Amino acid sequence: MSGKKKVYVETTVVSDATALPARDVVQLGRQVVTREWWSTAAQRFDLYSSLVVAKEVRAGDPEAARRRVDALAGIPELDVSEAEQLLARKLIDGKAVPKEYPDDALHIAVAAVHGMDYLVSWNFKHITNGHTIPLVERICREAGYECPCICTPQMLQEGGRE
């Protein structure tokens, strides 16, 4: 054990770290922040992804997918077993995540079941959402898991207390 905090890296972070510069100024800003965070994250945290992330990063444009896959090289993939599936189902049944987005529920479930300290994401609709995070935390707690701190890369910038 390294003593570093454990961070589950959700797909949107990998995408922003590797994407071509966006035309939209807000998206471009996220990309810049993410690349800056990504450049030192592995020295400051123990990073993890999952089989869900592996599936998602392989989708879409082949060149972009290759960059995403390459970025994850060396980052351990967490399994998705029955426990993660069950917690994801509870997150959907509890209306914390819409049923149309089961992979988003799985990201949260994998991070919680595997005891991650942080789940880092730019998915404001279904994961990094201030309205639903309290519900996610309650559902995780009721299922016997500690919910990781759900945040953006910007919230974990260097200079914070790791």
Q: What is the pLDDT of residues 59-89, one digit of tens each?
A: 999 999 999 999 999 999 999 999 999 999 9
Question: How many domains are there within the chain?
Answer: 1
Which CA distances in Å does 107 have to 50, 87, 102, 104, 114?
A: 8, 10, 9, 5, 11
> What would the two tokens of residue 91 be?
């997150």
Taking only the tens place, the pLDDT of each residue in 83-133 is: 999 999 999 999 999 999 999 999 999 999 999 999 999 999 999 999 999
Domain annotation covers residue 67: yes
pLDDT at 155: 94
Q: Which domain holds residue 41?
A: 5-156
* Residue 83 is assigned to a structural domain of this protein: yes
CB 51 within 8 A of CB 76: no
Q: What is the CATH number of the domain that holds 82?
A: 3.40.50.1010
Residue 63 token pair: 């060149």
Note whether residue 15 is domain-resident.
yes
Q: Is residue 162 part of a domain?
A: no
End-to-end, the C-alpha distance of the chain in Å comes to 16
Q: How confident is the model at residue 162 (pLDDT cuts 50, 70, 90)?
A: very low
Q: Residue 1 — very low, low, confident or very high, per pLDDT cuts 50/70/90?
A: low
pTM attached to this predicted model: 0.94
Q: Is position 54 within any domain?
A: yes
Mean confidence (pLDDT) of the chain: 94
